[in-house]
């Protein structure tokens, strides 16, 4: 199912910003390899540059040791992709699609560009875009809805898509 534009990740914006963000990360790493950055001055400059470029608050982003995390490509994409926004009037069918995407059950459309197809799993599993979108728009959102849980008898269970949708739908943000 196609979602309204405001619910979809903005791959077009990310694709425009990505080359400059990626180059800035690689240049910073090369600078650090050659000169170090003990006082974080270059890190601070890079943070300001990327925040200005993307309009995002990057306070929690690790620009120094990205190679220990998810690689420069995925970090550049995560920085380039605009954050999800609060959206009014999400329909029940849209909510169902969002939950399925958060669960990783939905693949990108066959019309996805190479860029979108290359980074779709990053959106779902690394950035957790759909989880962020659900948390912004539904008061009842909890990551526990998407995890394995234990009932009062000690038995493990997972909520179905239908159960998650019902819990979220009953308490919209």
Q: Compute and round to an integer the Cα radius of gyration of the chain.
A: 19
Distance CA 119, CA 117 (A): 6
Kindly give the confidence (pLDDT) of every residue in the chain, 173 residues in length, as a single tens digit, with 9 standing for 90 and above. 678 999 999 999 999 999 999 999 999 989 999 999 899 899 999 999 999 999 999 988 877 776 667 788 999 999 999 999 999 899 999 999 999 999 987 766 656 678 988 898 889 888 899 999 999 999 999 999 999 999 999 999 999 999 999 999 987 65
Q: How many CB atoms lie within 10 A of CB 35?
A: 9
pLDDT in tens, 105-150: 776 665 667 898 889 888 988 889 999 999 999 999 999 999 999 9
pTM, two decimals, is: 0.87
């Amino acid at each position: 199912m196609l979602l309204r534009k405001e619910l979809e990740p903005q791959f077009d914006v990310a694709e425009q910003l990505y080359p400059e963000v990626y180059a800035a990360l690689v240049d910073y790493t090369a600078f650090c390899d050659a000169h170090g950055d003990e006082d974080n001055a270059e890190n601070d400059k890079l943070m300001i540059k990327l925040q200005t470029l993307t309009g995002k608050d990057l306070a929690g982003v690790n620009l120094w040791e990205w190679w220990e995390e998810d690689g420069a490509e995925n970090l550049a994409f995560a920085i380039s992709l605009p954050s999800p926004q609060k959206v009014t009037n999400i329909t029940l069918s849209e909510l169902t699609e969002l939950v399925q995407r958060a669960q990783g059950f939905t693949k990108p459309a066959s019309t996805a560009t190479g860029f979108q197809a290359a980074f779709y799993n990053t959106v779902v599993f690394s950035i957790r875009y759909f989880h962020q979108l659900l948390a912004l728009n539904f008061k009842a959102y909890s990551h526990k809805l998407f995890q394995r849980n234990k009932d009062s008898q000690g038995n493990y269970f997972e909520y179905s898509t239908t159960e998650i949708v019902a819990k979220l739908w009953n308490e919209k943000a």
